[in-house]
Chain A
Amino acid sequence: MSAMRRLGPLIANLAMTALALMFLYPFYWLIVSSFRSQEAMLVNPLRLMPESFDLAAYTSIRLVGGVPIEVYSFNSMLITVLATVLAVATTALGAYALYRRPHLPGFKFVQFGFLLTMMYPAMLLVIPVYLVMFRIGLLGTYAGLVMFLALQPILFLMFSQFFRSIPRDLMDSAKMDGASEWQVLTRVVLPIAQPVVNTVFLIGFLLNWKQWLPILVVAASPDRYTLPVALLAMNTEYGINFQSTMALAALTTAPIVVLFLLTQRRVIGGFVAGAVKG
């Protein structure tokens, strides 16, 4: 019995470590490979340490498709940050409005519409999005890219879920204290929602950072591409340069890994705050 009790956690820990390694390995491999020459990689793909720290790949990606890497990085940051801010602001306010006044005419329809966009395959949106962006003159503009990426129904659902967990009495109480609808939101709901807003922002950021299809569609030329699209562009008619691809992939992944590590504690706190009522 006591042996079982000691073995249980041990086995669980081993299993989790194994699982974690399974997820970590591809990232590790990616980084290692970015330092290895293409030939070495083909000969012995699974080597755990690079033969030497060869930085050739990193210098080779100064220009991708004729556009400096700085442009892609700048685009990635700008578009992701703006789109995520816009997405968090609109979905938070939208979910809040739906929560506060669920019976206003048309709100049921809006909610349903949001769910529908989640179930709709993104691939099928390519042509309509292209046409709409073209018609309203946003094709190839930052505004078009940001607006399209700001459409994030999953964030809306996360906010809806959270707002529903706030006791209604709390808002009624603020009303009784003389708060306007805006003050209820800014003085009571948002401070309580802070950890959830952080979490949703981070998730929105991750989702937008890795987007490539809508950017490929809406950005008319490579100078509006982001890092993931540049990564895609490395796959040229001349074949794949493994080493450079790995280097660019490492650069693309690094910011979000850092971001996640920095905010991890708060994000997990936010999940818990959202899950436990009150």
Chain B
Amino acid sequence: MATLELIDVCKKFGASAVLQDVSLSVDDGEFVVFVGPSGCGKSTLLRTIAGLEDASAGLIRIDGAVVNGVDAAKRGLAMVFQSYALYPHMTVEQNMAFGLKLARLPKADIDARIKAAAEVLKIGDLLGRLPKTLSGGQRQRVAIGRAIVREPKIFLFDEPLSNLDAELRVQMRIELARLHARLKATMIYVTHDQVEAMTLADKIVVLQAGRVEQIGAPLDLYNRPANSFVAGFIGSPRMNFIAARIEAIGPQGVRAAIGGEGDLVHFAVDGSRLRIGDSTILGIRPESIAIRPAGDGETTGLAAEIILDEQLGSGTCVHAMTRAGDILVSYLQGQVPLRKGAAVRLSLPATACHLFDRDGTALVRLE
């Protein structure tokens, strides 16, 4: 039950800067997910919050109080590790009681808390077992249970599900969401899986190379990515990116030519910072691209040829190559009978097209 605030937090290991000017705030009861590619500094950021690493610069506040320099043991946080990190010589019950015993809680309280947590996590009949006799999923529950009984100010999770198989991962994801709803605790969760991020988070923090790329609610990031990195990282299948050259700028948006043929696409974005002839990048999500068979005198949209179709059952992923050689992926609902080699027309709706300048920064969308 706490708030967290980071102000310009930096972390250096020797000469290499792993975190650079990370600023963010977490509200009481919020579920915040740190997401980003491998090696971007997610774990380091989490460990810095935990106090397992010292910030090289910047401030960390928990409930308003600066905790830089406060020992990890004294910050009142609990962490669930990717490796579970259960004490191998202690039973499940002893694992869960460890932190409480160190805090000198009365035995009755300890027992009551363990009982309650075991019930929530359905590990009641494992209490007498040693960690080595448990399955991965059971260990994960115990690790979460060990955090719950501490009633920490903030829960920290470092990729807690990544060692589980796909099915169990989905199941545990749902249980974690329920757990959060039930405990109403502040939780910070690290993952490189954007689906986990989208489904669990109240707020997502996208990190890349130690910097915050964007912070926002899942759908905000999805609908209004601040830059091409976030746009590409959030959403599956991935957003399409193709080069576009600015041809016209007006109050309703801009027009840009894509491909060698100069097919014009309209964007509902603020073009006041652009000039005619600027090279930019068009981004469009696969599900926003509509496909119609070519012919029938159809002239709107981009002419393209289907080079690959992936039938997923619930939907179809169509890879189409334009005459300029750009490949666009379109995701269509249902089982669409489009086959390789078919000539089609792709329509890119203006409201669904994102435009990024040469640095990858998104142009502001007109509402």
Contact = CB atoms under 8 A, between A and B. Distances in A.
B102 A169 contact: no
Interface string A167-205: 101101111111110010001100110000000000000
A175 B54 CA distance: 14
B83 A172 contact: no
A213 to B, nearest CB: 40
Interface in B72-96: 72-74, 77-79, 81-83, 85-89
A192 B85 CA distance: 13
B166 interface: no
Nearest to A191: B89
B331 to A, nearest CB: 39
B98 A187 contact: yes
Nearest to B50: A176
Contact of A180 (B50, B73, B82): B73
A219 B299 CA distance: 105
A172 B52 CA distance: 7
Contact of A174 (B50, B74, B82, B87): B87
Contacts of A180: 73
B89 A169 contact: no
B87 A167 contact: no
Contact of A175 (B72, B82, B83, B103): B72
A177 B52 contact: no
Contacts of A170: 85, 87-88
A167 B51 CA distance: 18
A278 interface: yes
Interface in A85-106: none
B146 interface: yes
Contact of B79 (A173, A183, A187): A173
A188 B87 contact: yes
B58 interface: no
B245 interface: no
Nearest to A188: B87
A192 B89 CA distance: 7
Contact of B85 (A167, A178, A187): A167
B88 A178 contact: no
Nearest to A278: B88
A167 B73 contact: no
Contact of A183 (B51, B77, B102): B102
A178 B79 contact: no
B102 A178 contact: yes
A176 B98 contact: no
A215 to B, nearest CB: 39
Contacts of A191: 89
Contacts of A178: 73-74, 99, 102-103, 150
Contacts of B87: 170, 173-174, 188
A131 B109 CA distance: 62
B99 A167 contact: no
A177 B98 contact: yes
A240 B347 CA distance: 106
A175 B73 contact: yes
Nearest to B77: A176
Contact of A169 (B73, B85, B98): B85
Contacts of B82: 169
Interface in A186-237: 187-188, 191-192
A176 B72 contact: yes
Interface in B115-168: 146, 150
A192 B79 CA distance: 21
Interface of A: 167, 169-170, 172-180, 183, 187-188, 191-192, 278
20 contacts: A167-B85, A169-B82, A172-B50, A172-B81, A172-B85, A173-B85, A173-B87, A175-B72, A175-B73, A176-B50, A176-B72, A176-B78, A176-B99, A177-B102, A178-B73, A178-B99, A179-B73, A179-B99, A188-B87, A192-B88
